[in-house]
């Protein structure tokens, strides 16, 4: 994971660091304003669904099932590491690593199950339907659509 620094294209002010490879995406308006010079910019962490679509594995059970398996595996390693502590020799540092690994395993495992459940029950679909609708609503504002166009987005003619 390597982070990239994002600077204002107008005045060069450092705005934030972000990791382009991360799977974490925010679905809201990417249009923001530099607090220093007021120039508008597109936040690469934010995505306008109506223009950019969604990653194709977002509703994939298989992709999330992998997360559950990974979580179970990490959890298993954490528990094995706990078991390797010699009785009597246990101190805080020795317990820290297994504890961190175990917690990570549980997070992946439970997170994966929650995601799969929300896909199966349609809750996730509903959430993204709502986000897509909000995105389309934003684009109905011609000034906003034009700002995105100026910032380099492919905006369909119907919005301009």
Binding site for Zn ion (CB under 5 A): 8, 10-11, 13, 34, 36-37, 39
Question: Between 40 and 136, whose beta carbon lies closer to Zn ion?
Answer: 40
Residue 95 C-beta: closest distance to Zn ion, Å: 47
Question: Between 17 and 121, whose beta carbon lies closer to Zn ion?
Answer: 17
Question: Between 8 and 68, whose beta carbon lies closer to Zn ion?
Answer: 8
Residue 32 C-beta: closest distance to Zn ion, Å: 11
Cα-Cα-Cα-Cα torsion 109, 86, 97, 104, nearest 10 degrees, comes to 10
Question: Between 39 and 127, whose beta carbon lies closer to Zn ion?
Answer: 39
Residue 14 C-beta: closest distance to Zn ion, Å: 10
Per-position DSSP letters for 76-105, written without gaps between them: HHHHHHHHTSPTT---HHHHHHHHHHHHHH
Residue 36 C-beta: closest distance to Zn ion, Å: 5
């Amino acid at each position: 994971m390597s982070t990239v620094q994002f600077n204002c294209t107008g005045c060069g002010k450092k705005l934030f660091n972000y990791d382009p490879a991360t799977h974490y995406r925010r679905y809201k308006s990417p249009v923001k304003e530099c607090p220093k010079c007021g120039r508008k910019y597109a936040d690469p962490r934010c995505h306008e669904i109506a223009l950019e679509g969604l990653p194709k594995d977002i509703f994939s059970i298989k992709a999330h099932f992998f997360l559950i398996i990974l979580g179970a595996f990490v959890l298993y390693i954490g528990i094995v590491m706990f078991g390797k502590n010699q009785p009597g020799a246990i101190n805080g540092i020795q317990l820290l690593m297994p504890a961190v690994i175990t917690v990570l395993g549980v997070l992946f495992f439970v997170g994966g199950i929650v995601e799969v459940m929300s896909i199966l029950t349609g809750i996730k679909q509903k959430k993204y339907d709502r986000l897509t609708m909000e995105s389309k609503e934003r684009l109905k504002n011609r000034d906003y659509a034009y700002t995105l166009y100026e910032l380099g987005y492919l905006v369909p003619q119907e919005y301009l």
